[in-house]
């Protein structure tokens, strides 16, 4: 009888804290490990960053923000890119992009900092806000690269 009560209390705590962790990760933010080279030197493969989701929910995205986004090409993949244009902005006339001259309402233009290694809006066009998953705020690992992601390059 006492063992059943202990198991019940343990399961209750696991479920309660699991729900708190899930809701925090889903609606507030989470930690993620980065892969790939498209955002170098700002973010390198293996860097650990904190992604917040509140800004995305209120569509509070600005030029220069680094965002986590569901890939428009492969929805099973998440990509990390910099917002270079927001809705209503006009593409640079020297751009070689085959896409619209103006970023449509409800969309952003995403590019990797490492243009040579980045598959981005220059390849797939404007990205709807609905695909944005969060804004990258802080690099936490490695420690020598710890800092806010404000500038184009933190090195």
The pLDDT tens digits of the residues spanning 83-131 come to 999 888 887 755 555 566 788 898 999 999 888 888 898 888 899 999 9
The mean pLDDT of 61-84, rounded to a whole number, is 91
Between β-strands 66-70 and 48-52, what pairing exists: parallel, antiparallel or unpaired? unpaired
Residue 155 has pLDDT above 50, yes or no: no
Residue 134 to residue 78: CA distance in whole angstroms: 11
Return the domain boundaries, the chain: 30-148
The mean pLDDT of 38-67, rounded to a whole number, is 85
The mean pLDDT of 60-82, rounded to a whole number, is 90
The pLDDT tens digits of the residues spanning 140-149 come to 888 777 777 7
The pLDDT tens digits of the residues spanning 5-29 come to 767 678 877 887 777 777 666 777 7
Query: Which are the catalytic amino acids?
Result: 38, 81
Specify the pTM: 0.75
* pLDDT on residue 15: 82
- Two tokens at 35? 């892969």
For the domain 30-148, what is the CATH superfamily, name and number? Umud Fragment, subunit A (2.10.109.10)
Q: How many C-beta neighbours within 10 Å does residue 118 have? A: 21
CA Rg value for the chain: 19
């Amino acid at each position: 009888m006492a063992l059943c009560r202990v198991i019940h209390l343990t399961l209750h705590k696991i479920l309660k804290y699991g729900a708190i962790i899930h809701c925090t990760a889903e609606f507030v933010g989470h930690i993620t490990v980065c892969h790939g080279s498209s955002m170098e030197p700002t973010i390198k493969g293996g860097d650990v960053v904190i992604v917040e989701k509140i800004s995305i929910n209120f569509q509070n995205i600005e030029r220069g923000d680094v965002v986590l986004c569901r890939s428009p090409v492969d929805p099973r993949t998440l990509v990390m890119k910099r917002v270079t244009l927001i809705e209503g902005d006009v593409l640079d006339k020297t751009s070689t992009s085959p896409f619209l001259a103006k970023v449509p309402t409800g969309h952003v233009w995403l590019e990797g900092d490492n243009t040579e290694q980045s598959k981005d809006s220059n390849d797939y066009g404007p990205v709807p806000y609905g695909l944005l998953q969060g804004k990258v705020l802080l690099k936490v690992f490695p420690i020598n690269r710890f800092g806010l992601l404000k500038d184009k390059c933190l090195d």
